[in-house]
Structure 1
Amino acid sequence: MGAESKVFTHSQVSAHNTSEDCWVIINAKVYNVTNYLTDHPGGDEVLLAAAGKDASEEFEDVGHGSAARLMLDEFYIGEIDPSTNLATITGDTTLGPTKDVKDKPLQSTNKLLYFVLALAIIVLGLGIHFFDVFT
């Protein structure tokens, strides 16, 4: 990473959303990935879909390893201003604050609870069915 870190707003980053000028935000850091589009193993369309946006969740969901994380250093251009978020910029309060990687355990817990709830409903339904059949 460079010795001096520049701070960008979400609005500034969102202007860099083309194949000729492609920036992404990952974990509150800004990366200019324009020169990496053709080399990205997932194809340029993956990066272009995230161009000008916070791609933290997508980056983490794919499970990038240490090599990919080290490679990010090559494209690092600055930090995101924490006082800005997408809801402030767009006026859309449904967006809320930008997603944070710290929310991952909560999301996993929610998925587990939904699975257990669905399983309980199935078991209950089968129990009622068998009760009706044998009575």
Structure 2
Amino acid sequence: MSKAALTLEEVSKHNTKDDCWLIIAGKVYNVTKFLEDHPGGDDVLLSSTAKDATDDFEDVGHSSTARAMLDEYYVGDIDMATIPARTKYAPPKQPHYNQDKTPEFIIKILQFLVPLAILGLAVAIRMYTKSESA
């Protein structure tokens, strides 16, 4: 006996402690009776309602026993076309952050001048010590 696919809108209505449905791997589960027994507490399950909770379920690393328990809570399949496509997070475009607020051109000039000054100072000291010893 095949059950009709449920829409996200239909499943989203079941989001309370008295009526809690989850979508995991394309299937819908009525976990209301399990809320009090869930090791992570009922808030964890309630926060996963009205969306595809597959990632939430998989990220925890549930045991094979927990996965087998899902069968007794099965309600039907979800119509995947009613679940919004996930978008990959893209951080906003921002200019390079210069922590010390020094303009970049000054840094480049100093990268050239500081070693040159050190070399000049070394040569001057060397010449001064040669002239003192003569």
Deviation at 1:15, TM superposition (A): 0.9
Match of 2:13 among 1, 12, 15: 15
Counterparts of 1:46-61 in structure 2, within 5 Å, are 46-61=44-59
Indicate the residue corresponding to 2:37 in structure 1. Answer: 39
CA distance in 2 between partners of 1:6 and 1:98 (Å): 24
What CA deviation, in whole Å up to 9, does each residue of 1:4-50 have, x standing for no partner? 32310011111111111100100110000011100111111111111
Unpaired stretches in structure 1, ≥5 consecutive residues: 87-96, 100-131
SS in 2 for 1:50: coil
Unpaired stretches in structure 2, ≥5 consecutive residues: 88-114, 120-134
Indicate the residue corresponding to 2:25 in structure 1. Answer: 27
TM-score (norm 1): 0.61
What CA deviation, in whole Å up to 9, does each residue of 1:101-127 have, x standing for no partner? xxxxxxxxxxxxxxxxxxxxxxxxxxx
Larger Rg computed on CA atoms: 2
Indicate the residue corresponding to 2:94 in structure 1. Answer: none
The number of residue pairs the alignment matches comes to 93
What CA deviation, in whole Å up to 9, does each residue of 1:62-110 have, x standing for no partner? 0012111100001000000122123xxxxxxxxxx158xxxxxxxxxxx
Q: Is the 8 A contact 1:25 1:54 kept in 2?
A: yes
CA distance in 1 between partners of 2:86 and 2:74 (Å): 19
Indicate the residue corresponding to 2:67 in structure 1. Answer: 69
The runs of at least 4 aligned residues of structure 1 exceeding 2 Å deviation read 3-6
Indicate the residue corresponding to 1:84 in structure 2. Answer: 82
Tell me which protein shows more helix as a share of its residues.
1
